[in-house]
Amino acid sequence: MSQEAVISARGLTMGFGDLILMESLNFDIHSGEIFVILGGSGCGKSTLLKHLVGLYKPMAGKITIAGMVLDPDNDDSFKRILSRIGVMYQGGALFSSMTLGENVALPITEYSNLKGAAVEELVSLKLRQVGLEGFEHHLPEELSGGMKKRAAIARALALNPEILFLDEPSAGLDPISSAELDTLILRLNRTLGTTFVVVTHELSSIFTIAERVIMLDKETKSIIADGDPHELKNASDHPYVRQFFNRQPEMER
């Protein structure tokens, strides 16, 4: 596996107005890696993800994706970056006026030369991979929370992008679907070399898929751990990190 950094953040500071969430973050995400972002609720994981896909502007620092500086104002480079990434949002963000099939087909018809029946077939293959085959003609409102989540993943997968950003993909899924999702992620990673940037809290999922994790900390506004979760679990010198991986409550002080 090549060790070139496909995403790198340098001196990334982010926040909203006066609220600073993270200060001068530096990290690299390597090509073909499954990279997991961890941290307590509300520490800024989703916000970091939105910075990495160019939806928010950093307060300071810069982000490079595939050698191009991420700059939403530069149409040309931003388009090229967007063509390489797929994003699944925490809330699903399915288009409520379209059926599931149409949601998934939208990027396929827009960005590939596939036609008619082939698109439909590909859509049902995508939905089959997330266990939603047969729901092509359902509207998002007719789905359960976990089904919406999986549909959103199918849509993010539609073009088999090189980099996939998933915000809490397995939250709200039963253990079996969650494990199947892990298998799917690992598979895409092994066979297509897809790079994954995943926000998740599921310990079992982290230990199954993550090659590298970073843990954000709200108090110090910085990364407090970076590495293989199996090693961090016991060897981290940060008690919070060990607590996190060992699922222990906050110690009394």
Partner 1 sequence: MSDSASMTTTPPITIEHTPGQLSLTLSGVLDLRTTPEVLDQLAHIHKPLPKLIRADLSAITGMDDCGALVIFQLRRMAEKHGCELELAGTPAHVRDLLAFLRVDDPPRSAGAKRPRPGIMTRFGMKTIQVWDQSGRHVSFVGEVTVTLLSLLRHPGRLRLGDTVLYMQRVGVDALPIVGLISFLLGLIMAFMSAVQLQQFGANIYVASLVALAMVRELGPIMTAILVAGRSGSAFAAEIGTMKVSEEVDALVTMGFRPAMFLVAPKIIASVLVVPLLAMYSNIFAIAGGLLIGVTTLDLTVNAYMAQTMSTLTIFDINWGLFKSAIFAVLISTVGCFKGYQVRGGAASVGKATTSAVVTGIFLVILVDSILAVILRYWRP
Ligand X SMILES: Nc1ncnc2c1ncn2[C@@H]1O[C@H](COP(=O)(O)OP(=O)(O)OP(=O)(O)O)[C@@H](O)[C@H]1O
Region of 35-43, 148-156, 173-181, 187-195 interacting with ligand X (CB under 6 A): 35-43
Hey, which residues between 93 and 122 contact partner 1 (CB under 8 A)? 95-97, 99, 101, 108, 112-115, 118, 121-122
Q: Which is nearer to ligand X, 16 or 111 (CB)?
A: 16
SS (H, E, C) the chain: CCCCEEEEEEEEEEEECCEEEEEEEEEEEECCCEEEEEECCCCCHHHHHHHHCCCCCCCEEEEEECCEECCCCCHHHHHHHHCCEEEECCCCCCCCCCCHHHHHHHHHHHHCCCCHHHHHHHHHHHHHHCCCCCCCCCCHHHCCHHHHHHHHHHHHHCCCCCEEEEECCCCCCCHHHHHHHHHHHHHHHHHHCCEEEEECCCHHHHHHHCCEEEEEECCCCEEEEEECHHHHHHHCCCHHHHHHHHCCCCCCC
Task: Tell which one of 11, 16, 67, 118 touches ligand X (CB under 6 A).
Answer: 16
Task: Tell which one of 5, 159, 179, 186 touches partner 1 (CB under 8 A).
Answer: 159
CB of 98 to partner 1, least distance (A): 9
Task: Tell which one of 1, 2, 11, 42 touches ligand X (CB under 6 A).
Answer: 42
Hey, which residues between 60 and 99 contact ligand X (CB under 6 A)? 90
Region of 123-131, 214-222, 229-237, 242-250 interacting with partner 1 (CB under 8 A): 123-131
Footprint of partner 1 on this chain (CB under 8 A)?
Answer: 95-97, 99, 101, 108, 112-115, 118, 121-122, 124-126, 128-129, 133-141, 159-160, 162, 187, 191-193
